């Protein structure tokens, strides 16, 4: 294993918490190289549809190093697999490196994160067909919003100062300021983000053609980011049914879910007193 060709930064977090936007904005920095495949899932606990062709259980580390072969001496090499937050294999592997990567996690108010993910799975990927009330009873849903539990597991195994987390709401409200904070954390020039052209990525929209969407996901890693930025509006016009509106019948479920998981924000603020909890109240 050649550690000089491995990432020195990893982005993770709960689904629908802004990791796609962070991936593109961080990749834009001239001193940063983002893996062309945003989410490699290489160190996921199990082989799945996202990592069937490259995973730690069946393949050599050379296949992981290949994701960063184009780094060409970049100061920062990174990938953004959101689900690493929950993966014990990823924690074990990254913490075992002689130079463990710096971890960045993004978190969103639990009811908003859960609802955004629900709308994505129901209207975009169409992997679920059930009411919100049924959806929140799934064990993985409640596990995924228990952010503090998972972040503690990372803090316990990584070197001091190698785990930082931000609130999605703060990230989107103060894009330039927060990206400068992240740039300083990963040790690249933060002034690059002065007047940067930020755009939001990966919104929950209804997809007209699932086939076209899956094809787009497959070829996306092969397309330079600048071309993706130019082509995305046209693709969204052709294959998007528009942003999925909140449903009135879901309001009570969301209010109750928010109350039930209010303690998560408090737990995060105890881990980091600077965490902007006011966004979640």
Residue 237 falls inside a structural domain: no
CATH classification at residue 67: 3.40.50.300
Q: Is 34 left (phi over 0), alpha (psi -120 to 50) or beta?
A: beta
Residue 235 falls inside a structural domain: no
Burial class (CB in 10 A: 0-12, 13-18, 19+), 15: middle
The domain tally of the chain equals 1
* Residue-wise pLDDT tens digits, 146-176: 999 999 999 999 999 999 999 999 999 999 9
Q: How many helices (H) and strands (E) does the chain have?
A: 13, 7
| pTM (2 d.p.) | 0.85
Residue 231 falls inside a structural domain: no
Residue 139 falls inside a structural domain: yes
Residue 176 falls inside a structural domain: yes
Residue 232 falls inside a structural domain: no
Taking CA atoms, 218 is separated from 189, 191, 213, 214, 231, in Å, by: 32, 34, 9, 6, 15
Residue 280 falls inside a structural domain: no
Q: In which domain, by residue range, is 190 found? A: 3-204+244-273
* Residue-wise pLDDT tens digits, 47-60: 999 999 999 999 99
Residue 110 falls inside a structural domain: yes
């Amino acid at each position: 294993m050649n550690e000089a060709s491995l990432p020195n930064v990893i982005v993770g977090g709960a689904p629908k918490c802004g990791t796609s936007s962070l991936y593109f904005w961080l990749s834009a920095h001239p001193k940063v190289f983002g893996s062309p495949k945003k989410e490699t899932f290489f160190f996921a606990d199990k082989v799945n549809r996202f990592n069937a062709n490259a995973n730690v259980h069946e393949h050599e580390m050379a296949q992981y190093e290949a994701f960063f072969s184009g780094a060409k001496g970049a100061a920062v090499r990174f990938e953004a697999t959101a689900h690493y937050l929950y993966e014990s294999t990823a924690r074990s592997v990254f913490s075992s490196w002689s130079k463990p990567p710096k971890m960045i996690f993004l978190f969103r108010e639990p009811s908003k994160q859960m609802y955004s993910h629900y709308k994505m799975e129901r209207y975009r990927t169409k992997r679920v067909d059930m009411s919100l009330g049924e959806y929140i009873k799934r064990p993985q849903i409640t596990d995924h919003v228990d952010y503090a539990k998972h972040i503690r597991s990372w803090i316990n195994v990584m070197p001091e100062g190698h785990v930082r987390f931000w609130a999605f709401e703060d990230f989107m409200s103060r894009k330039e300021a927060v990206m400068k904070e992240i740039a300083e954390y990963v040790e690249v020039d933060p002034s690059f983000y002065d007047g940067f052209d930020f755009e939001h990525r990966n919104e929950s929209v209804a997809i007209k053609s699932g086939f076209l969407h899956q094809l787009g996901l497959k070829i996306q890693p092969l397309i330079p980011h600048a071309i993706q930025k130019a082509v995305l509006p046209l693709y969204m016009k052709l294959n998007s049914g528009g942003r999925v509106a909140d449903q009135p019948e879901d309001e009570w479920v969301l209010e109750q879910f928010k109350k039930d998981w209010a303690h998560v924000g408090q737990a995060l603020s105890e881990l980091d007193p600077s965490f902007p909890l006011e966004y979640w109240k």
